[in-house]
Amino acid sequence: MADAPAYAPFFGCMGAASAIIFSSFGAAYGTAKSGVGISAMAIMKPDLIMKSIIPVVMAGILAIYGLVVAALLIGKIDPAPGYTLFHSFCHFAAGLAVGLCGLASGFAIGIVGDAGVRATAQQPRLFVGMILILIFAEVLGLYGFIVAIILHLKV
């Protein structure tokens, strides 16, 4: 069949892989960068550590977005005759959407988390502001997740 060549699952699998790979890179960057900030400020204010783990948790959530989309896509990828190029490119786009948005969001969460926890240690009133900025950064990853779900449901 011209519409369902044997190489069609390549792009579907690449979508599933991109979903988890790029969001893992974003989550890892967010965790590492915020972790460095937390380690630095923990010396001055050890009691603020548990509050400052919020950027790390938000970066972890990005990896979960990637995990969910990858698991959903894997459930739908099949070998050639039943799996057309339409399916495969939709799944590829879904994986790229959540992956690259998670990467960008992870970078934002990492840098804001690093600067935010260091500043909150010196000025406690900045905590709420840091959380607001982190929420906006997290929502970027959520947008990618939403687009991925829409594409996945389009089949």
Partner 1 sequence: MGLYGSRGKGSYAYGCYASLVIIIIVFIAIGLYYMFSGRGGEFDVGWVLEKISPYSYACLGIGISIAFSVMGAGWGMFITGASIVGAGVKAPRIKTKNLVSVIFCEAVAIYGIIIAIILTQNIGSTTDEDWVENYNTYVYNGYCLFFAGLLTGLCNLACGICVGIVGSGAALADAQNGELFVRILVIEIFGSAIGLFGVIIAVLLGNNKKISSS
Residue type, 136: F
> How far apart, in whole angstroms, are the C-alpha atoms of residue 48 and residue 119?
12
The one segment of 72-80, 118-126, 128-136, 143-151 that binds partner 1 by CB under 8 A: 72-80
Asked if residue 142 binds partner 1 (CB under 8 A), the reply is no
* Footprint on residues 29-48 left by partner 1 (CB under 8 A): 29, 31-32, 34-36, 38-40, 42-43, 46
Asked if residue 7 binds partner 1 (CB under 8 A), the reply is yes
User: Based on the number of CB atoms within 10 Å of its own CB, is 47 exposed (0-12), middle (13-18) or buried (19 or more)?
Assistant: exposed
Closest distance of CB 15 from partner 1, Å: 9
Asked if residue 111 binds partner 1 (CB under 8 A), the reply is no
Selected binder of partner 1 within 3, 51, 54, 57 (CB under 8 A) = 57
End-to-end alpha carbon distance in the chain: 19
> Which two tokens mark 67?
């995990």
> How far apart, in whole angstroms, are the C-alpha atoms of residue 38 and residue 57?
13
Q: Nearest-CA neighbor of 52 among 37, 32, 33, 30?
A: 37
Per CB under 8 A, residues contacting partner 1 are 5-7, 9-10, 13-14, 16-17, 20-21, 24-25, 27-29, 31-32, 34-36, 38-40, 42-43, 46, 49-50, 53, 56-57, 59-60, 63-64, 66-67, 70-71, 74, 77-81
